[in-house]
Structure 1
Amino acid sequence: MSDEPDIIFETRGRAGVVTLNRPKALNALNSNMVALMHPQLVAWANDPKVELVIVKAAGEKAFCAGGDIRQLHDWGKAGDPAIRSFYRDEYRLNAFIKRYPKPYVALVDGIVMGGGVGLSVHGSHRVAGEKLMFAMPETGIGFFPDVGGTYFLPRLPGRTGTWLGLTAARLGQADALWTGFATHAARSADFDAILEALCDKGDPDATLASFAQVLDGAKAPALQPVIDRCFSANTVEEILALLDAETGEHAEWAAKQAATMRQKSPTSLKIALRQMQEGAKVEFEACMGIEYRIVSRIIDGVDFYEGVRAVIIDKDNAPNWQPAGLDGVSTADVDAYFAPLPDELDLSGLDRA
């Protein structure tokens, strides 16, 4: 066991600096990190000497690969209420980042998935390094694109968010900038200098502009027509049919997307598509409430635990989804995940955590 803390807070010059410090675990987010980060952000929000917050990560492989899935799996299997508390606290942290009263700069490089997206995308400034690998891979473990995915994914260009949420497709630096996940692109080698400049000068707009790169090479723009054509359908079944029917220059790409989707949890696919449809119509905090409703049902189900078993624990990549096919997931089944809870997510008092 390391004596190093999982998360480090320091005040440097004008900035409060958060360092995610679990590099051997790809900086996976655990309950302790969430529990410590929220009150620290509150303290900095109320400290006139702190002009901005910077979030970075230790190691070179990942900003944050998501939540500590194995811990969550074990809590859920044991019926431990800690799993629900984790998601409540994480979603409250996401919401506080979204409404943070000071500039919030995430220096994002390497792997950023799931919970790591929640710690970055809702901030005012997101700087992507060239090693960035963004994905929302939740449907592959019987889960759903949460941490605000209900809000930000439908607001990416066209149907890009629906494509990302259903297929777990990965974006590199150029595409992250083009979609708007990142607000700036910079060389990974410049991240230390960016940190020092922000701490010294503040003024993230001007400071980041001095390091920003103008990129070409994004792949998503050329795919936008086929993404919009196929992923604008109202049902997962229709999306698959459109992908299967695609001809011409994007036929091979479409076939790969369809094959990928058919490996995912059928229940998760239908939940994720409904998220995109509902999330496009409501504001951020309502989206977080929707996600809390969904996760409260997911953790009482089957597919999440089976997905984690297949991908994380046994690594056989052969999940036994229940139901096994899309035809076994009815509209009423999906409706149940979105139904109100006796105890809805409370987003009051975020600035007093």
Structure 2
Amino acid sequence: MAADADILFHETGRAGVMTLNRPETGNAVTPDLIRDLETHLLKWARSPKIYGALLEARGEAFCVGRDWQALYELIASGQKETVLGHLRDEYQHCWTLQNFIKPHVALINGPMTGSGAGICLYGTHRVAGEAFQFSMPGVALGFFPDAGASYFLPRMPGHVGFYVALTGYVLNAADAYFLGIATHCIPAHAFNSIQEALASADPIDPFLDSLHRQLGESELAARQPVIDHCFSAASVEEILSRLDAVSDADAGWAQETAASLRRASPVSLKVTLRLLRERPSSLKAALETEFRVASHFYNSPDFIKGLFAALCGNELEHPWRSGSIQNVSSVVTATYFARLPGAEIDLKSHWTLIE
């Protein structure tokens, strides 16, 4: 495999090692990367030699999510079917990883954003180093948190996942451990020993448990009561009303949070809240619904406008095309959940993954 490939693979002992290899782009997800990941996971699932797989990254970022520049160019040139084909592959890989039958250890010591979670979150172990960061900034782009986010976010403690989804809040390692995004917090200097243990087929759970360290305190854990109060509301309007009414020591936080919501795309907020409140029963169901929603968002003026502004590094100077939050009715929101006759995603069953 070429040294300049999006991702590098090698086997050491009984470990299959995957190295994200586009540090200049923040290791953004590309179609080639997803296809290569899928191929190697299926191969290693079949191989009696391989005990487990390890995912690591070169550079300061772990994975910043999709290559939005490439996606924007495809949409702008009318190649939506190509975009949806890439999305099918990406969502299929989330489902493949969920059903991977061996240990899968992701070593994360840098920013992980949006759909970057899809290449590691459904594996058995997610190790957060001291530089770990995670966010789902979809609503700020006029999009929504996807790659299975509608499955894992509502299952976080209380309504903290709703807060993370609607604000794009950046989690640190302690937050991630509190919320179950990370299974372990381990200083990055110990990452090499994890690869060595996996290569030796040492039982990985007790080994990781022995290295786990608390990396600071979780601000979200301390703030959960007020988050639960505000984000348990049934509508975006009521969430904002509750935030505006906070008057105690959390008033400053509430004002900043309300301002963040008011800057986001109104239709993104409404669609995201409905997705999370529906709480899909499985990752597969979540991915199937998210595929419909994403397909409709790719035609959304808010998404095109938000993505263009983000790529140009500009703040939006004009209101979102969807207007105010009050203007986005339940009828408008429902259009993003409409079925796609003849174009639904067909995820391969885990029973067929290693046949």
- TM-score category, normalised to shorter length: over 0.9
Distance 1:349 1:224, change over 3 A: closer
Following superposition, the deviation at residue 3 of structure 1 comes to 5.8
Distance in 1, matches of 2:196 and 2:72, equals 39
1:33 and 2:33 equivalent? Answer: yes
Instruction: Give per-residue Cα distances to partners, 1:108-138, cap 9 Å, x unaligned.
Output: 1110011211112111100000101110001
Equivalent runs, 1:234-253 vs 2, <5 Å: 234-253=234-253
> Which consecutive aligned stretches of 4+ in structure 1 deviate over 6 angstroms post-superposition?
none
Equivalent runs, 1:84-123 vs 2, <5 Å: 84-123=84-123
In the other structure, the counterpart of 1:291 is 290
Following superposition, the deviation at residue 313 of structure 1 comes to 2.3
**Match for 1:4: what amino acid?**
D
Following superposition, the deviation at residue 316 of structure 1 comes to 3.9
The TM-score with structure 2 as length reference comes to 0.95
Distance in 2, matches of 1:41 and 1:107, equals 17
In the other structure, the counterpart of 2:299 is 300
SS of structure 2 residue aligned to 1:181? coil
Distance in 2, matches of 1:349 and 1:178, equals 31
> Mind listing any 5+ residue stretches in structure 2 that lack a counterpart?
none
Counterpart contact for 2:129–2:187, Cα < 8 Å: yes
Counterpart contact for 2:134–2:170, Cα < 8 Å: yes
Distance in 2, matches of 1:186 and 1:222, equals 22
Counterpart contact for 1:139–1:166, Cα < 8 Å: yes
Structure 1 range deviating more: 342-351 or 92-101: 342-351
Distance in 2, matches of 1:28 and 1:340, equals 29
Following superposition, the deviation at residue 258 of structure 1 comes to 0.4
Q: Aligned-pair RMSD on alpha carbons?
A: 1.6
In the other structure, the counterpart of 1:67 is 66
Following superposition, the deviation at residue 196 of structure 1 comes to 2.2
Following superposition, the deviation at residue 91 of structure 1 comes to 0.4
Counterpart contact for 2:154–2:161, Cα < 8 Å: yes
Following superposition, the deviation at residue 174 of structure 1 comes to 0.7
Distance in 2, matches of 1:49 and 1:124, equals 19
**Match for 1:321: what amino acid?**
W
In the other structure, the counterpart of 2:314 is 315
The TM-score with structure 1 as length reference comes to 0.96
SS of structure 2 residue aligned to 1:131? coil
Following superposition, the deviation at residue 327 of structure 1 comes to 1.7
Structure 1 range deviating more: 306-315 or 124-133: 306-315
SS of structure 2 residue aligned to 1:8? strand
In the other structure, the counterpart of 1:339 is 338
Counterpart contact for 2:15–2:195, Cα < 8 Å: no
Distance in 2, matches of 1:257 and 1:174, equals 20
Distance in 2, matches of 1:107 and 1:307, equals 31
Distance in 2, matches of 1:18 and 1:228, equals 38
Equivalent runs, 1:72-221 vs 2, <5 Å: 72-80=71-79, 81-221=81-221
Counterpart contact for 1:39–1:352, Cα < 8 Å: no
Distance in 1, matches of 2:187 and 2:156, equals 24
Following superposition, the deviation at residue 39 of structure 1 comes to 1.5
Instruction: Give per-residue Cα distances to partners, 1:135-178, cap 9 Å, x unaligned.
Output: 00011101100011010000011101100000000110111111
Distance in 2, matches of 1:349 and 1:43, equals 17
SS of structure 2 residue aligned to 1:43? helix
Counterpart contact for 2:8–2:20, Cα < 8 Å: yes
Distance in 2, matches of 1:348 and 1:193, equals 35
Following superposition, the deviation at residue 281 of structure 1 comes to 4.5
Distance in 1, matches of 2:14 and 2:313, equals 47
Distance in 2, matches of 1:200 and 1:221, equals 37
Instruction: Give per-residue Cα distances to partners, 1:290-322, cap 9 Å, x unaligned.
Output: 100001101112111111111122534436411
SS of structure 1 residue aligned to 2:8? strand
Distance in 2, matches of 1:352 and 1:88, equals 19
SS of structure 2 residue aligned to 1:64? coil
Distance in 1, matches of 2:67 and 2:46, equals 30
Distance in 1, matches of 2:315 and 2:200, equals 49
Distance in 1, matches of 2:280 and 2:42, equals 30
> Mind listing any 5+ residue stretches in structure 1 that lack a counterpart?
none
**Match for 1:276: what amino acid?**
L
Structure 1 range deviating more: 323-332 or 189-198: 189-198
SS of structure 1 residue aligned to 2:62? strand
SS of structure 1 residue aligned to 2:250? helix
Distance in 1, matches of 2:26 and 2:153, equals 23
In the other structure, the counterpart of 1:20 is 20
Counterpart contact for 1:136–1:165, Cα < 8 Å: yes
Distance in 2, matches of 1:54 and 1:242, equals 43
Distance 1:281 1:308, change over 3 A: closer
**Match for 1:115: what amino acid?**
S
